[in-house]
Amino acid sequence: MPRRRAGSRRTGPTSRSAPTCRCRSSPTARRRSAASARSPAPRRRARPSGPTRAFRTPSPRRPPARAWLISDGVAEGGGDLGRAVGALGAPLDALGVGPSKRETGAAFLDLKAPDFAFLHGRIPVEASVEATGLAGREATVVLWRADEEAPGGWREAGRVKRRISADVEAFPVSLSAPADALGAARFRLTASGGGRERTRDFRVEIVRQKYRIMYLAGRPSAEYSALREFLKADPNHELVSFVILRNPENPSPAPDRELSLIPFPVDEIFGRALPQFDLFILENFSAARFRLPPQHLDALRRFVAGGGALLVKGGDNAFSAGGYKGSPLEEVLPVVLSGRAPDFIPGLFSPRPGPPEHPLVRLYETPEASARAWAALPPLDGWGRFAATRAGAAVLASHPRETAEDGKPLPVAAVRPYGRGKVMLISTDSTWRWKLGAAADPDAAGFYARFWTRAVQYLTGSLDLSKVKFAPLPDRVPRESPRGCRCAFSTRASAPRRPRTRA
């Protein structure tokens, strides 16, 4: 049974009583009302349709002296225009509007696209296209996306072809494009046919709904437990984590199907699921042990080059021991891996912080406060041995005594841009000591949370690196004391100059 739409009126008899009211009327008005009730209702004339709707039968008292017909020449059909004009009984002047010659081709009547879209989703684009003079031919609508690396600066995102059957035909078009990068994305919609092309340009702002993080650990550890707990506690993080509990060489008396452990979904992690994440964390993982094919490590390289973020954390199963040496993964790292074995050395050490202007080194309001926090941290345990630091990489922390094979300070933490993404390397798997050992020290308390929060924001491109920043004034200022305004300038996004204070 069809439902009646809300707000529509119901016709015909109804079981509900009609609303009543009291009113007074004169005897004459009552007689007129009775007479009108007995007389039959006049018939309504059928309204002309199509072009004849513009012409009405003139009143015999005031016939028109002249009539104007304004038209663009496009026939709609329906009704006899000649008979309607002849019924006017008046001279007719025809006035043409629009182009003097009808253009053939496809043109946009309407375009609908969202103002913003969420990262990793789809951007729907709908358009209404009118094809004129293309009967028996094809009209093509193409969605393009601005891309500096594509020929001509535009990359095709979708295409629709339609066979036109009438002289004038309108048809809808639905296309979509992936929202795969943050920021303003420029699009262009083209409609072509009959040797002519028309374009419509528009922009869509791509924003982040949540940080999507993939965390793959080579074995259970305190480092994995601490960082996983920290990332999972943030409502802005959507975390998917895997930890290897059984290596391929570990024997099992029971068949795999009877074990409660799930198989390692290596093809899904490094294949279909990889582009859906913003950050990929690889901790103490051995690609050689699981015999990962080169295309999986190359997928990580392409993921970073396309705008993804990669965090590689060390351990005795990582780096050269894990099969990274000479692989596509080594190409993106901030360091050149060593060929000597072992390349992971156990032992306690306190890292030496890098340039104080870097946002991952300066974690507090002033360089002095940041330096005190770094000095108060408990020591880390174990570091990686490398051949050199790559050009363009920024060293966040280095070993206080050890050097790389090129004689320069040995990096413990370093970052590097690669393509449109960023890569961060932490050569140790013991940053959990910052969380537990510094809890009682007022200078280092909160360092662990500050460091990893900033690291995630820096790698994913959401860290505020404004070139000019004003420090807020205090809520209360003592009477007759100077009021200062503190401003920090920077010539690069990650290198602020020394703040200046003016009274």
Taking the alpha carbons at both ends of the chain, their separation in whole angstroms is 78
Residue predicted with more confidence, 22 or 367: 367
Q: Hey, what domains does the chain have and what are their CATH numbers? A: 105-207 (2.60.40.150), 211-248+260-460 (3.40.50.880), 468-502 (no CATH)
Whether the pLDDT of residue 137 is over 70: the answer is: yes
Q: Work out the pLDDT band at 26, boundaries 50, 70, 90.
A: very low
- Mean pLDDT check: name the lowest of 10-24, 86-100, 301-315, 425-439: 10-24
User: Rounded to an integer, what distance in angstroms lies between the CA atom of residue 14 and that of residue 11?
Assistant: 8
- Cα 243 to Cα 220: distance, rounded to the nearest angstrom: 6
Mean pLDDT of the chain: 80
| Predicted local distance difference test score (pLDDT) of residue 89 | 78
Q: Average pLDDT for residues 304-319, to the nearest whole number?
A: 94
Q: Flag whether pLDDT at 1 surpasses 60.
A: no
pLDDT score of 100: 64
pLDDT in tens, 36-87: 444 444 444 445 545 555 555 555 567 788 888 888 766 554 556 777 777 7
Give the per-residue pLDDT at 380.
96
Residue 467 pLDDT greater than 60, yes or no: no
| Structure letter (DSSP) for residue 257 | G
In this prediction, residue 247 has a pLDDT band, given cuts at 50, 70 and 90, of low
Query: Phi, psi (5° rounding) for residue 46?
Result: -70, 130
The 3-state secondary structure of 296-355 reads: HHHHHHHHHHCCCEEEEECCCCCHHHHCCCCCHHHHHCCEEECCCCCCEEEEEECCEECC
- Local structure of 67: helix, strand or coil: strand
Question: Which pLDDT score is estimated for 19?
Answer: 36
Averaged pLDDT for residues 118-129: 91
382-392 pLDDT per residue, tens? 999 999 999 99
**pLDDT band for position 481 (50/70/90)?**
low
pLDDT at 85: 75
Residue 359's pLDDT is what? Answer: 94
Residue 7 CB partners (closer than 8 Å, separation 6+): none
* Residue 70 pLDDT: 84
pLDDT score at 261: 55
pLDDT 10s digits, 152-196: 999 999 999 999 999 999 999 999 999 988 889 999 999 999 889
Phi and psi for 300 in degrees, rounded to 5? -65, -40
Per-residue confidence (pLDDT) for residue 256, from 0 to 100 = 57
Least confident of 5-14, 332-341, 413-422: 5-14
pLDDT value, residue 165: 93
Instruction: Tell me what pLDDT residue 283 has.
Output: 95
Q: 126-130, long-range: CB within 8 Å, 24+ apart, which pairs?
A: 126/172, 126/173, 126/174, 126/175, 127/172, 127/173, 127/175, 127/189, 127/191, 127/200, 128/170, 128/171, 128/172, 128/173, 129/170, 129/171, 129/172, 129/173, 129/191, 130/106, 130/168, 130/169, 130/170
* pLDDT tier, 204 (very low <50, low <70, confident <90, very high otherwise): very high
Task: Identify which has the larger pLDDT, 478 or 437.
Answer: 437
Given this model, what pLDDT does residue 487 score?
Answer: 59
Mean pLDDT, range 365-379, rounded to an integer: 92
Per DSSP, the three-state class of 53 is helix
Look at residue 310 and tell me whether its pLDDT is greater than 80. yes
Q: Give the phi and the psi of residue 281 in degrees, each rounded to 5.
A: -110, 125
Q: What pLDDT score does 492 carry? A: 44
